[in-house]
Amino acid sequence: MVTEAPKQKVQLKQGMLDNVMRQFSNAAAIIGLNSNIRKILEVTNNEILVHFPVRMDNGEVEIFTGYRVQHNNALGPYKGGLRYHPTVDIDAARALAMWMTWKTSLAGLPYGGAKGGIQLDPSKYSQAELERITRRFTYALGDNIGPELDIPAPDVNTNSQTMAWILDTYMSTKSPAERSTNTHVVTGKPIGAGGSEGRDRATGYGVFLTIKFWAEHKGVDLKGKKFIVQGFGNVGYWTAHFLENEGAIMVAVQDAYGTLHNNQGIPVEKLLEYAKANKGSILGFAGAQSIDNKEFFALDCDICVPAALGNQITIENASKIKAVLIAEGANGPTDVEAEEVLLQRGVEILPDILCNSGGVIGSYFEWLQNRSGEIWQLEEVMTKLEKKLRESFNKVMETSQKRGVDKRAAAFIIAIERLEDAYVQRGIFP
Amino acid sequence: MEQVRKKYKWSICSTCTFLSFCELTKDKSNISSCSEYIHYMDGHTKMSLFERSQNKVPRAKKEFNNWF
């Protein structure tokens, strides 16, 4: 997501929260959400701020500030990532926690929404320091997280290794008899430490599936359809991999190094092999021509998959897009003005909250396996993912048609209505 | 590079290994999310306490080519 410049830092955070609140208010107004439930969903349940000391490699002690915002748990335990970044603060965590509540609700998962992290620049710390910071942060959070209370996951600057440290620290604080019952305190773990098969490709596979469902819905065959992908990282690669398997043709790809184009098709696996051997860069690949980055979104294609940065499709390039479908693999790749232009032009958009929800569904499967002491095979994980995502997709299409709203508004409406049902049925204590 | 990182302190670009050659955006000062992002921690996952045994055969990576 593109935000404001550093000097406008306050606006940056406010902007993020404003954006989430605006989307919520829009959907709440359409469904005429009960004002009391609206009051509840507009605020976060708990906001935890911890300051904790960590010994650095040079022997000095440094104090860190960590956050965990728990927005809502009406549908189940809080769920959301932990990020390590200088921009982490309470407002960013609030906005992202709220976003997680809608995402898990739309996906039909038994989870609420949370987000947190530590305000730091990880490039300034050694691996040993990062391990101590992570472990001490976990200890500071104490019983505010837990396998049935709040389940963190990887986010910006955190990975499966970070989750393994959190798991190990959290388990160490429990009595020996309880330790093995706490493996699901975090998701996104390495496979050897209780992680799930298929978690690596879950987001990309989810993006592909939503495109496939859309094609089925429209009676379109994906075979021979041309697609372009912005981003050749985890999400971009796996989406392209599955689309190619289905017979679609990748005609352009853009990554951090530049843009490649070949109207006859770029072989996905060969490009990955090349990029791996070329320090991650796609540039110089023999099977395509390098073109100017500005030409990317204007290229002739049927499907456009933005799977890199936020706010990439703007008023500047929206009118030039030739694709009939935009599948949002990244979070917030289309800005508000661009979306209006695209919808007026009849371009269909599969919203991020639906399109990239394969990741959090994959996390749910990891949690379920740990909880029941099972280990699922890859095929089983992918089959269950398809079933779950198909449910979400069908609901979005049905709501969009029934209420005469675009698919993004429909996705928000479904998420909010599910929460509304929970409050209506349960009431409020006392 | 340190100066550049300092300049983009409030952007995720400040900790991304692609920073010096990223072409996705010219304005790196205001990015907070990117799927191309390579974390500083990635590639630095060597355990400080335990090392893998030298003779261990690497676990076979299950391929997923015949899904359809």
Chain A touched by B20 (CB under 8 Å): no
Q: Whole-angstrom Cα distance, residue A103 to residue A159?
A: 21
Q: What's the gap in Å between the CA of A347 and the closest CA on chain B?
A: 23
In a domain, A142, yes or no: yes
Q: Classify A397 as helix, strand or coil.
A: helix
Per-residue model confidence as pLDDT tens for chain A (430 residues):
344 444 344 444 456 777 788 889 988 999 999 999 999 999 999 999 999 999 999 999 999 999 999 999 999 999 999 999 998 989 889 999 999 999 999 999 999 999 999 999 998 999 999 999 999 999 999 999 999 999 999 999 999 999 999 999 999 999 999 998 999 999 999 999 999 999 999 999 999 999 999 999 999 999 999 999 999 999 999 999 999 999 999 999 999 999 999 999 999 999 999 999 998 889 999 999 999 999 999 999 999 999 998 889 999 999 999 999 999 999 889 988 899 999 999 999 999 999 999 999 999 999 999 999 999 999 999 999 999 999 999 999 999 999 999 999 999 999 999 999 999 999 989 9
Q: What's the gap in Å between the CA of A360 and the closest CA on chain B?
A: 15
List CB contacts (< 8 A) between A123 and chain B.
5, 14-15, 40
Q: What's residue A4's pLDDT?
A: 40
For residues A184 and A206, membership in a common domain is answered with no
List CB contacts (< 8 A) between A131 and chain B.
48
Q: What's residue A57's pLDDT?
A: 97
Task: Say what the ipTM of the complex is.
Answer: 0.79
Contact A86 B41 (CB under 8 A): no
Residue B28 binned pLDDT confidence (cut-offs 50, 70, 90): confident
Q: What's residue B47's pLDDT?
A: 52
Active-site residue A270, yes or no?
no
For residues A135 and A211, membership in a common domain is answered with no
Chain A touched by B23 (CB under 8 Å): yes
For residues A52 and A89, membership in a common domain is answered with yes
For residues A289 and A325, membership in a common domain is answered with yes
Q: Residue B30 gets which letter from DSSP?
A: G
What phi and psi values does residue A117 have, to the nearest 5 degrees? 155, -170
Contact A256 B22 (CB under 8 A): yes
Q: Where are the beta strands (DSSP E) in A297-388?
A: 303-306, 325-327, 348-350
Contact B34 A309 (CB under 8 A): yes
Q: Classify B19 as helix, strand or coil.
A: helix
Q: How many residues does the structure list for chain A?
A: 430
Contact B24 A254 (CB under 8 A): yes
Could you give the number of structural domains in chain A?
2
For residues A207 and A337, membership in a common domain is answered with yes
Q: pLDDT tens, A324-342?
A: 999 999 988 998 889 999 9
For residues A62 and A112, membership in a common domain is answered with yes
Q: What's residue A9's pLDDT?
A: 40
Q: What's the gap in Å between the CA of B43 and the closest CA on chain A?
A: 11
In a domain, A371, yes or no: no
CA distances from A326 to A227, A258, A402 (A): 10, 21, 22
Average pLDDT of chain A is 93
Q: Which of A129, A158, A189 is the last residue of a domain?
A: A189
Closest CB to A161: pick one of B21, B31, B41.
Answer: B41
In chain A, residues 78-107 whose CB comes closer than 8 Å to chain B: 85-87, 92
For residues A210 and A108, membership in a common domain is answered with no
Write the CATH number for A283. 3.40.50.720
Q: What's the gap in Å between the CA of A258 and the closest CA on chain B?
A: 6
Q: What's the gap in Å between the CA of A33 and the closest CA on chain B?
A: 31
List CB contacts (< 8 A) between A159 and chain B.
39, 41-42, 45
In a domain, A216, yes or no: yes
CA distances from A188 to A127, A166, A201, A357, B1 (A): 19, 11, 12, 14, 31
Using a 10 angstrom Cβ sphere, with 0-12 exposed, 13-18 middle and 19 or more buried, the burial of residue A115 is buried
Chain A touched by B6 (CB under 8 Å): no
Residue B44 binned pLDDT confidence (cut-offs 50, 70, 90): low
Which residues are CB-neighbours of A13 under 8 A, at least 6 positions away?
A87, A89, A91, A92, A95
The string over A92-104, giving b where at least 16 C-beta atoms fall within 10 Å of a residue's C-beta and e elsewhere, is bbbbbbbbbbbbb
For residues A51 and A163, membership in a common domain is answered with yes
Instruction: State pTM to two decimals.
Output: 0.91
For residues A137 and A215, membership in a common domain is answered with no
For residue A291, the chain B residue with the least C-alpha distance is: B23
Q: Domain residue spans in chain B?
A: 1-46
Contact B42 A159 (CB under 8 A): yes
For residues A178 and A280, membership in a common domain is answered with no
Q: Which of A168, A189, A210 is the last residue of a domain?
A: A189
Q: Which of A189, A214, A236 is the last residue of a domain?
A: A189
Q: What's residue B25's pLDDT?
A: 84
Are β-strands A249-255 and A258-261 bridged in parallel, bridged antiparallel, or unpaired?
antiparallel
Which residues are CB-neighbours of A400 under 8 A, at least 6 positions away?
A406, A407, A409, A410
Contact B36 A233 (CB under 8 A): yes
For residues A175 and A101, membership in a common domain is answered with yes
Contact A123 B40 (CB under 8 A): yes
Closest CB to B39: pick one of A12, A87, A157.
Answer: A157
In chain A, residues 155-194 whose CB comes closer than 8 Å to chain B: 156-159, 161-162
In a domain, A357, yes or no: no
Q: What's residue A224's pLDDT?
A: 97
Contact A162 B41 (CB under 8 A): yes
Write the CATH number for A135. 3.40.50.10860
For residue A201, the chain B residue with the least C-alpha distance is: B64
Q: Whole-angstrom Cα distance, residue A342 to residue A372?
A: 45
For residues A159 and A284, membership in a common domain is answered with no
Residue B19 binned pLDDT confidence (cut-offs 50, 70, 90): confident
A13, A79, A103, A115: which is the annotated catalytic residue? A115
Q: Has residue B60 got a pLDDT over 70?
A: no
Closest CB to A161: pick one of B18, B45, B67.
Answer: B45
| A224 touches A378 (CB < 8 A) | no
Q: How many residues does the structure list for chain B?
A: 68
List CB contacts (< 8 A) between B29 and chain A.
5-6
Contact A86 B10 (CB under 8 A): yes
For residue A88, the chain B residue with the least C-alpha distance is: B10
Q: What's residue B57's pLDDT?
A: 57
Chain B touched by A122 (CB under 8 Å): yes
Task: Please give the residue range of the domain that contains residue A171.
Answer: 44-189
